[in-house]
Structure 1
């Protein structure tokens, strides 16, 4: 059977970039932390710039991780279900795409935290920056249940959870191809069990939502008409569920399903083909891993010169500048760091005979940042 052509989902990429923007606005609150682990504005975010307009991002930006995980499942399914690859190829792609920037920012944060301790007498934003947690982060195991709490480049915890799901996904690929209907049913109903039982494990949460994204792709793959029905049903449900005793967490997940379906349907039908916002999706991973190191550097500098950080951060122009600088750095990172390392690692392993499928092109697949996870596990 001839494999289906690999499709690029432009609007799905753009929606992922929008979720990354939500994370940046949510984490803007880090500028108000006087030192690591101390949140002075918990429950009172009135001092945040443009809070009246951006309150949904400041107060609920941690939901973005669930959206990222659903998108991840969708993109991985679109990339690999109809295009089989060997285990070496799959995991080399994942390592080459994710690890170089993770390692670089881990070292950067470790240096910045040391400088902060020496310069101002305390660390910034996240605690537990010791050798034990450095080792966990080094192996991307910071969310596997061995950690005390968030540490170093804290947002990486959601990526750590997803790394485990990659192994499960690769193992399940033959079954996804053989039983797509069963997979769709499991993907739809499994999150109900998760939300009903309030599963605390980030890895388990990620797995449920990841496979929900897989189910969304399989539904679209089966029939665009069915996908349209699913999208309309999801959006109608969300519109009436607010008046019913239905958990907000479930409403949010259903809304995310509808959003992914709508964007994917538009991409599939070819209504939207413009690539002018491609950079926005490309910068997602970089923006996620680079914004905390930047905040640590800024916080340390302002503390060293004894400048009132909350006063500076409350200026709306500072919020605009922060978001602009992060996405600017992320765009540069994608072009001059992430892409070259990805291609270089894959090419080297292909030469060693460990990977048979180096094409010379950069396959983004699904780089998935995220932060916060509904009412089950959140962080500042």
Structure 2
């Protein structure tokens, strides 16, 4: 008997995107104000929130386009137009914000970081979204956007990834291979500098040099996971237990300081379990309007948090809020930056990201092949 199909709108996975972004922000803010957040395992592993995004991206794109690829109805030009509409407006807006911030700070004699991170010669690579392809020596300007460059590489490769997954007759085997590749790639990153010295040992240098390679195992995992899930439905009463057990797995790996490569098994289970809650219409709080909106605006949150980080924590220093301030004051200041980031992301999503995306999608571009019948919801077209 065929498995119950996934609904078009996987609200639980949209909401999960907010948690992934929040995890990354915790990681990026952990060293501010001397609160010692980096000693918390789950916070220290927050950079893996980016890999959760990569896997979610593969899963959602497979949800929208895999059937069209299988049926020979996939339109590559239309697909890339939708991808540009999805990621480029906020990427450009955040990049402009960083250029203006750096120019203003320089004019005022206030530093925002190393000049090497803000080289004009790196801007063309950022504008073309190739700055994680080895086109720049290290991350710069809007640092988190290296992952958008990596996403762009994965988008270009999507037809090949989809074909690979579809041509593997055993979906479970392909999923197992993808999980193994994720774990193996993580292990390889730790020692890659010994084989390829030019990639560097510093994480920021590695993401600039090989970010386009780092995404591929996670992206493949997302596509393979969807292909497995569409024919292997869990029973309705098991969906949330899968989510809970997967969450416990991720927290346990981080808390017990186990090898981070094991985290992928929990992340895969989390995505599969939440997708099953949507399949059986048991999303619970994850289907709430507020949570889904936070997920929809999570890309803006991820893209604009660096300029807010710089302005907020420099302002705190000017007002005398430092590592020597009371714990309550420092915790309040940290909570404040999250509130500001979420509010700014909501504004950016409603006033920049969504209008620009709709405008680009309406542009009349030549079609090489018909577009897929299934259309992504605005919240899930990452």
For residue 189 of structure 1, the aligned residue among 169, 174, 180 is 180
Aligned-pair CA distance for 1:123: 2.5
- Mapped to 1, the partners of 2:270 and 2:321 lie a distance apart of 40
Asked whether the 8 Å contact 1:13–1:278 carries over to 2, the reply is yes
- Mapped to 2, the partners of 1:22 and 1:236 lie a distance apart of 13
Aligned-pair CA distance for 1:144: 0.9
Alignment of 1:9 with 2:18, yes or no, is: no
1:132-147 map, 5 Å: 132-147=121-136
Aligned-pair CA distance for 1:191: 2.2
Aligned-pair CA distance for 1:137: 1.1
- Mapped to 1, the partners of 2:96 and 2:23 lie a distance apart of 26
The unaligned stretches of length 5 or more in structure 1 are: 33-46, 368-380
Alignment of 1:328 with 2:328, yes or no, is: no
Alignment of 1:209 with 2:218, yes or no, is: yes
1:293 maps to 307
Asked whether the 8 Å contact 1:219–1:226 carries over to 2, the reply is no
The unaligned stretches of length 5 or more in structure 2 are: 193-205
For residue 334 of structure 2, the aligned residue among 319, 331, 337 is 319
- Mapped to 1, the partners of 2:257 and 2:167 lie a distance apart of 35
- Mapped to 1, the partners of 2:163 and 2:372 lie a distance apart of 23
1:123 maps to 112
Asked whether the 8 Å contact 2:154–2:215 carries over to 1, the reply is yes
RMSD of aligned residue pairs (Cα, Å): 3.7
Alignment of 1:111 with 2:106, yes or no, is: no
- Tell me the SS of whatever aligns to 1:106: helix
TM-score, normalised by the number of residues in structure 1: 0.78
- Mapped to 1, the partners of 2:298 and 2:275 lie a distance apart of 18
Q: 1:222 to 1:100 in 2, by over 3 A?
A: same
1:48 maps to 35
- Mapped to 1, the partners of 2:103 and 2:83 lie a distance apart of 30
Aligned-pair CA distance for 1:115: 1.5
For residue 271 of structure 1, the aligned residue among 247, 270, 282 is 282
Asked whether the 8 Å contact 2:23–2:49 carries over to 1, the reply is yes
| Aligned residue pairs, count | 344
Asked whether the 8 Å contact 2:234–2:276 carries over to 1, the reply is no
More helix by share: 2
- Mapped to 1, the partners of 2:342 and 2:221 lie a distance apart of 29
Aligned-pair CA distance for 1:301: 4.4
Q: 1:186 to 1:309 in 2, by over 3 A?
A: same
Q: 1:295 to 1:191 in 2, by over 3 A?
A: closer
Asked whether the 8 Å contact 1:161–1:202 carries over to 2, the reply is yes
1:1-380 map, 5 Å: 7-29=8-30, 31=32, 47-48=34-35, 51=37, 55-83=40-68, 84-124=73-113, 127-179=116-168, 181=170, 183-198=174-189, 201-225=210-234, 235=246, 238=249, 248-272=259-283, 274-276=287-289, 277-301=291-315, 305=318, 307=320, 309-310=322-323, 315-349=330-364, 363-367=378-382
Aligned-pair CA distance for 1:338: 0.8
- Mapped to 2, the partners of 1:149 and 1:159 lie a distance apart of 15
TM-score, normalised by the number of residues in structure 2: 0.77
- Mapped to 2, the partners of 1:338 and 1:358 lie a distance apart of 23
- Tell me the SS of whatever aligns to 1:348: coil
- Tell me the SS of whatever aligns to 2:222: helix
Q: Mean Cα displacement is larger for which, 316-325 or 223-232?
A: 223-232
Aligned-pair CA distance for 1:358: 11
Write out per-residue CA displacement over residues 64-85 of structure 1, whole angstroms, 9 at most, x where no aligned residue: 1111111111111111112443
Q: 1:306 to 1:355 in 2, by over 3 A?
A: farther
